[in-house]
């Protein structure tokens, strides 16, 4: 038999490990003291946003020629996981920037478009990805937001809902249809900048979890967008949207395993400290079995997320694996955080302790960037047609 060792899927390269450690330290020392206050205020600390750019967390994959980090997709995933381990609100803030907005520009932007926008996204400006509408959720292409050609511009009208990073963003990737009769083939991606006349940020949602992450409605009233601000090709926005979301699912998977890890770590510490019947509750076999189950579920979810990320990075098919990763990791985040509350007992139900927040934050994983039912539909279609 060969003595050659097989590297585990969770083994990181030197660059990946360095970024993981930097993100973990930043999360523990800078973000953690702000978590409760941001959750209560339902608002990200503006100083924290500035620091994210300084640390390079907002442009991990953006090439160095555009002032980005020149890193990999997997590095983004590792960083998102570590930040979400402490606060999923901040985790999704950087997740949307890296796996949706930046990725869409990198894949579909022309040299001219990327030369204008990527340096801004890497160094100072937050991006938002704007697809959903009141009647367009899982049916992503039932868009009502319209774009009418007018010389060298398009005139955009409509509303967008559930837009993450809306309050903080300056650059909005908005999907609208140039021809409703053409169905999905009329959809086009437009780059709308804060301050354009007729564009405004409206209602901010009051959410169960990830409360510090802004989720808002956008209003577009005769917004004149230059043709130079089209991302990709006219009428091909559906490809931009769907293929970007396929990658974004892996980012949400990273967020979910971060939540699960944070809840698990808190449970481990608490069960070692909490004394009942003369000894730490971690000494009881029933508690040990619960912790073992949590650890196993978390490891399975992490392997699915890492596998999908490695496949994407290698240029291999990853659609099924990304859907599996998002579906299962969201299940695990909810389960592990719920079990953590059980282990904390009454203390787990109050805001003085961290696990109730992990539980609230976990729920969104089954909903945004494709509901669990949509992930199951994707998986079943692929396995039945393979």
Do 52 and 70 touch, CB atoms closer than 8 A?
A: no
Cα→Cα distances 312→145, 222, 240, 283, 316, Å: 31, 38, 16, 42, 6
For strand 126-130 and strand 169-177, is the pairing parallel, antiparallel, or unpaired? parallel
Phi, psi of 172 (to 5 degrees): -120, 120
DSSP-assigned letters across all residues of 213-274: S-EEEEEEEEEEEEGGGEES-TT-HHHHHHHHHHHHHHHHHHHHHHHHHHHHHHHHHHHHH-
The vertex-247 CA angle with 55 and 170, nearest 5°, equals 50
Distance of CA 66 to the CA centre of its chain: 22
Catalogue the active-site residues: 369
Closest listed residue to residue 174, CA positions, set 91, 125, 104? 104
For strand 153-164 and strand 215-226, is the pairing parallel, antiparallel, or unpaired? antiparallel
Do 184 and 141 touch, CB atoms closer than 8 A?
A: yes
d(CA 367, CA 162): 11
Burial class (CB in 10 A: 0-12, 13-18, 19+), 164: buried
Q: Which two tokens stand for residue 317?
A: 């098919």
d(CA 178, CA 80): 35
Closest listed residue to residue 216, CA positions, set 237, 232, 236, 194? 194
Cα→Cα distances 2→8, 183, 304, Å: 17, 56, 27
d(CA 333, CA 252): 11
Radius of gyration of the chain (CA): 21
């Amino acid at each position: 038999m060969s003595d050659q060792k097989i590297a585990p899927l969770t083994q990181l390269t030197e660059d990946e490990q360095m970024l993981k450690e930097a993100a973990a330290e930043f999360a523990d020392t800078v973000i953690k003291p702000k978590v409760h206050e941001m959750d209560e205020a339902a608002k990200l600390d503006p100083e924290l946003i500035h620091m994210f750019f300084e640390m390079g967390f907002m442009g991990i994959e953006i090439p160095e020629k555009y002032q980005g980090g020149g890193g990999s997709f997997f590095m983004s995933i590792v960083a998102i996981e570590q930040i979400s381990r402490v606060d999923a609100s901040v985790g999704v803030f950087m997740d949307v920037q890296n796996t949706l907005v930046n990725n869409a520009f990198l894949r579909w932007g022309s040299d001219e478009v990327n030369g204008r926008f990527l340096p801004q996204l890497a160094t100072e400006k937050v991006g938002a990805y704007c697809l959903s509408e009141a009647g367009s959720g899982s049916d992503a292409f039932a868009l009502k937001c319209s774009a009418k050609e007018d010389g060298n511009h398009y005139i955009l009208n409509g509303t967008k809902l559930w837009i993450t990073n809306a309050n903080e963003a300056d650059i909005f990737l908005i999907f609208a249809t140039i021809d409703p009769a053409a169905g999905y083939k009329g959809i086009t991606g437009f780059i709308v900048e804060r301050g354009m006349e007729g564009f405004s940020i409206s209602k901010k949602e009051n959410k169960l979890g990830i409360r510090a992450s802004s989720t808002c409605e956008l209003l577009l009233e005769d917004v004149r967008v230059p043709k130079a601000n089209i991302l990709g090709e006219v009428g091909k926005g559906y490809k931009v949207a769907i293929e970007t979301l396929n990658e974004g699912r892996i980012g949400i998977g990273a967020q979910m395993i971060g939540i699960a890890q944070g809840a698990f770590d808190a449970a481990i510490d608490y069960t070692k400290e909490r004394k009942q019947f003369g000894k730490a509750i971690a000494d009881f076999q029933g508690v040990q079995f619960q912790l073992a189950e949590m650890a196993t579920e978390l490891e399975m979810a992490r392997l699915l997320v890492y596998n999908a990320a490695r496949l994407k990075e290698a240029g291999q098919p990853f659609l099924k694996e990304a859907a599996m990763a998002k579906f299962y990791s969201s299940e695990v985040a909810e389960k592990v955080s719920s079990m953590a509350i059980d282990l904390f007992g009454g203390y787990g139900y109050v805001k003085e302790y961290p696990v109730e927040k992990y539980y609230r934050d976990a729920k969104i994983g089954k909903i945004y960037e494709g509901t669990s039912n949509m992930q199951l539909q994707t998986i079943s279609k692929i396995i039945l047609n393979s």
